[in-house]
Structure 1
Amino acid sequence: MFWQAAGTLKQLHTGMKKVAFLIFFFISCIAGHAQGSRHIFSLGKSDFLMDGKPFQIISGELHPARIPKEYWKHRIQMTKAMGCNTIAVYVMWNDLETAPGKFDFKTGNHDIAAFIRLCKEEGMWVLLRPGPYVCAEWDFGGLPASLLKIPDLKIRCRDPRYMAAVTGYVQHLSAEVASLQCTNGGPIVMVQVENEYGSYGNDKEYLETLRNLWIKNGIRVPFYTADGPTPYMLEAGNIKGAAIGMDSGGDQHAFDEAKKWNPDVPAFSSETYPGWLTHWGEKWAQPDSAGIKKELEFLLSHKKSFNLYVIHGGTNFGFTAGANAFSPTQYQPDVTSYDYDAPINEQGLPTPKYFMLRNLIKKYVAYTIPEPPAAIPTITIPEISMKAYSSIWQNLGQPVHSPQPVPMEALDQNQGLLLYRTKLIGHKSGTLKIWEPHDYALVFLNGKFIDTVYRDGGKWEVKLPKTDVADPQLDILVEGMGHINFAQFMIDRKGITDRVTLNGMTLMNWDIYKAPLDASYIKNLNPSAGTTYDGKATFFKGSFSLDQTGDTYFDLSGYKKGVVYVNGHNLGRYWYIGPQYRLYCPASWLKKGQNEILVLDLLQNNPANISTAASLY
């Protein structure tokens, strides 16, 4: 009887275990359905491993901040249709922290988590490139320009003030993306630590601090670094246990260098360049396709992982374009378009380079490559009549008084214009020098335009003529054109960064007027058709009606230098020195019925009609 009772209990226990198992299995299925299949991505000695099996990363880079949210899915599908299985995602810190301590992860194209989920829906893996420094030809390399309010700030190192800001960023971004790691059913397989640090510094404890910050905030996937494939860059930029990314790694020599540095982790080409960037005043960068074809043939035939930087660049809308400088007096601002001569052009269309690379990738991969999605429709608009509307001079507001000029960031302004005004006492004519103009200045004496001063080249002097005015008024209107985003001169404040001298005498007692040219400033413009100050810094306005919307380019070749707004959206900068004369406007920023275009031109005296086109050039 005892054994019979024992047997009955055993059967009951077994039955309960089965029920418990079924409940657990059911819950797991629900969780698995909600989160997607979980995967383990790991670093082998020479290969990346997905669930223990070798995995080749074939990646194309997209930047959500440069693409209207409405087109995210289209650009992801275009990337997949070229043969990629992964998307590299740069995250721009300063696009998300809109003011110190205030983060926006929801409006417009700030929803990074939504972009990553779209990648998952389209069957794409993700390489996350969160910085905090990214370079990317983006303003200040992604760092918040508000940091420059700290007079003796040191960046990309363990300066406690810098690291306090970095810690806040890592905490907020991790909260958005940690659940999207492949170990949780998401698409993120690796996270980059900093960016090309071996080209900048050698504080490996700083890099370890960054990695530990991500780990502390829930990042569990492997890490990688990205550096040029030279011995000193790899030594200074890579950290133990992180995969070695090379910018770029297009031949065996590069991979051999990586193996010398660390033979126990895989290396890959973290930035393979199908195109290149363009500065104002240059010709459009259009590198020969033979070079990228040769590199990809090597990478594909040797089963090396790689990331195409960029497969689609998008647009530096507003004031997001950065600048380069490789000497104290050099300054090379980037154009508004980030077309980059990429396989997918600025408006999302495939180029001949796209199809060449697609056909090449097809030869080496086992999976089926889908057809590209339909193109986004484009439109052209009948010529738009423009009229003078207002000027900076009618919208100055209240000044800030200062003994010496101070830069924008000291006044909690990161972009736009500053007007510096003073009375000339003592010297009243002669050689005026601005120390230093960041980046483009217009000089006026008693309301009369004298000359411009451009930062690049170090020629910062203007000759002031004699006048009959007892106390002449000097006005210097300074435009910031993008914070430097690379190399050793990134501490780059805007406006007048030190002083102004006249015949060697330091000019004192300034009134400084802010003109940030942001949405609030533009919305509250005081209309005034009258022009002053020789017609410089004038707003021109026009309207146009649409029966249907579509992507288009506004042609500013009739203007000289300034900024364009369509229905309140800042399309970016234009400049007569070229090469860019047309600015991209996505369909989502247009509407059926009446639309408005507003142009601020710093140099143009009279309005010019504006035409449109269906392409960048």
Structure 2
Amino acid sequence: MQRLPGACWPWACCWRGPGAQAEQKHTFEIRDGQFRYDGQPTQIHAGEMHYARVPQQYWRHRLRMLKAMGLNTVATYVFWNYHHPAPGVWDFKTGSHNLAEFLKTAQEEGLFVILRPGPYACAEWEFGGYPWWLQQNKNLVIRANNQPFLDSCRGYLRRLAGQVKGYQVSQGGPIIMTQVENEFGSYVSQRPDIPLAEHRQYNAAIKQSLVDAGFEGPFFTSDGAMLFEGGALPGVLPTANGEGNVDNLKKAVNQYHGNQGPYMVAEFYPGWLDHWGEPFTRISPEQTTKQAETYLKNGVNFNMYMAHGGTNFGFTAGANYNEEHEIQPDITSYDYNAPISEAGWATPKYTALREVLTRYVKYPVPAVPAPLPVRALPPIALSKAVDLFDLKKDIKPVTNDAPLSFEALGQGHGYVLYSKRFTQPTQGKLQVKGLRDYATVYVNGKRVGELNRQQTQYGLDVQIPFNGTLELLVENMGRINYGADIVHNTKGIISPVIINGFEITGDWSMYKLPFEQVPDLAKYTAKNKVGKPTLYTAAFTVTQPADVFLDMRGWGKGIVFVNGHHLGRYWKVGPQQTLYLPGCWLNKGQNEVVILEQQNDVLHTELKTADKPILEDLQ
């Protein structure tokens, strides 16, 4: 068995993990170019897993999967907007929001924790973790040395510290390191319009806010190796994301950390992210294990991003953008081609990595947990369909001379129906260049086409009769989570609606459809028409709850709720064609499903399920 550089084997052989004696206080520090736990040299072999992307009931199983792969640490982002969904509203207690319980569980499973609190996270998460409503303050500048923004960040970090500072290693907890900001050097490189001194003042202010809130460190930053100039901080360990060349890693770290280690890759990518309408990305087990062995041979500490990805439930998926500034919305699955699949299965990549890690590490590697049960259900007969437009009678519209953005309407996510009645017949080219992000367009209730920011499809021909109505059902497909455009993240219709070059103003009615909860359809008349946005519902019986995948092939575009749980978006363009339904969200006996189908090109009578995901069917 090969020796890890710098390891103290007598200690390593008897080490039982940070949860072995939870009542004892410990130390974790950077000294003499090494990580040291209770004074002993320690190698960090971490795997990223986000508690917000996994049902709380499955946390322990997934953590055991990480440990059985040969890892000794779990890393997680904290998403500010997950815990602070609205001004004055905080949630650190319900379900998967219970961060303290996650930390406790990780410690019980003998894992260290690396905490990545942001305030910026990226992570293909909506708005990179920022609360959408920050944008309502016109004096606030996102991710900048701006007092209103820094004040907001401080408030968040104080709240977070109140939940987690007792779980730091000095208090006998599992948290050994805390990250400052995230990939800030990358952002600096994309914002040359801001003086470097301003960027550095902001980054230093975030670090000071962490200290003031009660975070003890050690602290680290996380950037590409060639981007340390913009992201590194004095006295803070720089780590290099995605750096496979050990010489380059050491060269970069030495330059900004006193010519010594420890050397760490805070994001080692065994998989990659995926967008709607683009091929699913795969990285081979051979490529991943070769890189892992390079790190292990050279004593490089690492964090696999992701070891287990999970799911972008609800409206939590973010978006990127390409060189043409076309949006690239992230798919609902965050499988990430990670070693542990979306449903918690051990993949061939997992098995290969476990074999390599077991050969190098000196702590015991437990057996792989049994997979959770999974089974397909009989086809679910849909019992009722309701025209979405019928919900308008119970919604008081907001009226304005011109369309308003989601933010101006006080809405973060979901849909808004923009409606305008015409007193004169109008025809020609409809243009909505400020569409954010997708819309189906109706004239007198009949669908006449769709607009799509992803494909820069901002116009179509319309013919509106006398006393006719133009309506646009607009969906927020996820706020941008990475890059300079993160500061331009309002949703809905954010510029004038134009027909034949004329701005359409006067008496726009806007119906808010946030779908924060599943709608009650009992009071609405059954109605279903091709081309109309439709809500389908059904009750179904489960004899033995187990994980299942909803097969959305044949459907168009929409969202799904099961027993009130928002499973996320589906879209026929792929590559994802199934939605993961955790068995812990099913009841033994009666269950309910509600589907919002926006396109409704065909009338649906049943919902099929599967026992395997379909993530690579690009239409």
Q: In the alignment, is residue 565 of structure 1 matched against residue 552 of structure 2?
A: no
Q: Counterpart in 2 of 1:333?
A: 329
Q: Counterpart in 1 of 2:496?
A: 499
Deviation at 1:616, TM superposition (A): 1.0
Deviation at 1:158, TM superposition (A): 2.1
Contact persistence 1:388–1:607 (CA under 8 A): no
Aligned partners of 1:526 and 1:265: how far apart in 2? 65
Q: In the alignment, is residue 49 of structure 1 matched against residue 36 of structure 2?
A: yes
Aligned partners of 2:587 and 2:217: how far apart in 1? 43
1:134-533 alignment runs, 5 A limit: 134-151=121-138, 153-201=140-188, 202=196, 203-230=199-226, 233-252=227-246, 253-262=248-257, 263-264=259-260, 266-327=262-323, 329-396=325-392, 397-424=395-422, 428-465=426-463, 467=464, 469-490=465-486, 491-509=488-506, 510-519=508-517, 522-523=519-520, 526-531=523-528
Aligned partners of 1:34 and 1:274: how far apart in 2? 32
The one-letter amino acid paired with 1:130 is P
Deviation at 1:108, TM superposition (A): 0.6
Moved more, 383-392 or 184-193: 383-392
Deviation at 1:33, TM superposition (A): 10
Aligned partners of 1:454 and 1:567: how far apart in 2? 31
The one-letter amino acid paired with 1:508 is T
Contact persistence 1:249–1:255 (CA under 8 A): no
Q: Equivalent residue of 1:603, what SS?
A: coil
Aligned partners of 2:111 and 2:575: how far apart in 1? 35
Q: Equivalent residue of 1:498, what SS?
A: coil
Q: Counterpart in 2 of 1:19?
A: none
Deviation at 1:210, TM superposition (A): 1.1
Aligned partners of 1:66 and 1:36: how far apart in 2? 29
Q: In the alignment, is residue 586 of structure 1 matched against residue 573 of structure 2?
A: no
Q: Deviation string for 1:429-466 (max 9, x for gaps)?
A: 1011003111101111122211100002433111113x
Aligned partners of 1:134 and 1:169: how far apart in 2? 13
Aligned-residue CA RMSD (Å): 1.8
The one-letter amino acid paired with 1:612 is T
Q: Equivalent residue of 1:79, what SS?
A: helix
Deviation at 1:277, TM superposition (A): 1.0
Q: Deviation string for 1:338-397 (max 9, x for gaps)?
A: 111110001111001001001101111111100011211112110111144212201121
- Equivalent of 2:75 in 70, 88, 93: 88
Unaligned residue ranges in structure 1 (runs of 5+): 1-31
Contact persistence 2:114–2:177 (CA under 8 A): yes
Aligned partners of 2:130 and 2:152: how far apart in 1? 10
Deviation at 1:558, TM superposition (A): 2.2
Aligned partners of 1:551 and 1:508: how far apart in 2? 50
Q: Equivalent residue of 2:519, what SS?
A: helix
Q: Counterpart in 2 of 1:577?
A: 573
Aligned partners of 1:304 and 1:368: how far apart in 2? 20
The one-letter amino acid paired with 1:74 is H
The one-letter amino acid paired with 2:448 is I
Q: Counterpart in 2 of 1:12?
A: none
The one-letter amino acid paired with 2:504 is L
Contact persistence 1:387–1:607 (CA under 8 A): no
Deviation at 1:481, TM superposition (A): 0.9
Aligned partners of 2:200 and 2:34: how far apart in 1? 25
Contact persistence 1:64–1:72 (CA under 8 A): yes
The one-letter amino acid paired with 1:258 is V
The one-letter amino acid paired with 2:217 is V
Contact persistence 2:425–2:467 (CA under 8 A): no
The one-letter amino acid paired with 1:166 is C
Aligned partners of 1:51 and 1:616: how far apart in 2? 44
Q: Equivalent residue of 2:380, what SS?
A: coil
Deviation at 1:320, TM superposition (A): 0.6
Q: Deviation string for 1:3-37 (max 9, x for gaps)?
A: xxxxxxxxxxxxxxxxxxxxxxxxxxxxx999522
The one-letter amino acid paired with 1:240 is P
Aligned partners of 1:399 and 1:564: how far apart in 2? 25
The one-letter amino acid paired with 2:494 is T
Aligned partners of 1:34 and 1:371: how far apart in 2? 22
Q: Deviation string for 1:556-610 (max 9, x for gaps)?
A: 1121110111111111100111111110111111101111111110111411421
Deviation at 1:236, TM superposition (A): 0.5
Q: Equivalent residue of 2:474, what SS?
A: strand
Q: Against the structure 1 CA distance between its residues 612 and 457, is the aligned structure 2 distance closer, same or farther, given a 3 Å change threshold?
A: closer
Aligned partners of 1:507 and 1:558: how far apart in 2? 36
Q: Counterpart in 1 of 2:47?
A: 60
Q: Counterpart in 1 of 2:612?
A: 615
- Equivalent of 1:121 in 95, 100, 108: 108
Moved more, 32-41 or 401-410: 32-41
Give the number of equivalent residue pairs.
580
Q: Counterpart in 2 of 1:17?
A: none
- Equivalent of 1:102 in 89, 109, 114: 89
Q: Deviation string for 1:161-180 (max 9, x for gaps)?
A: 22222111101100011011
Q: Deviation string for 1:176-231 (max 9, x for gaps)?
A: 1101110110010100001100111251111111111111121112100000111x
Rg larger in structure: 1
Q: Against the structure 1 CA distance between its residues 527 and 425, is the aligned structure 2 distance closer, same or farther, given a 3 Å change threshold?
A: closer
Deviation at 1:267, TM superposition (A): 3.0
Q: Deviation string for 1:127-165 (max 9, x for gaps)?
A: 000111100001111111111223464211122222222
Q: Deviation string for 1:518-548 (max 9, x for gaps)?
A: 11x624674221246x542101112211111
Contact persistence 2:250–2:261 (CA under 8 A): no
Q: Equivalent residue of 1:543, what SS?
A: strand
Contact persistence 2:250–2:263 (CA under 8 A): yes
With structure 1 as the length reference, what TM-score do the two structures score? 0.91
Q: Counterpart in 2 of 1:16?
A: none
Q: Deviation string for 1:34-57 (max 9, x for gaps)?
A: 952222111124221222222110
Contact persistence 2:322–2:328 (CA under 8 A): no
Q: Deviation string for 1:49-106 (max 9, x for gaps)?
A: 2222221100011100000000001111110000111110111111101211321110
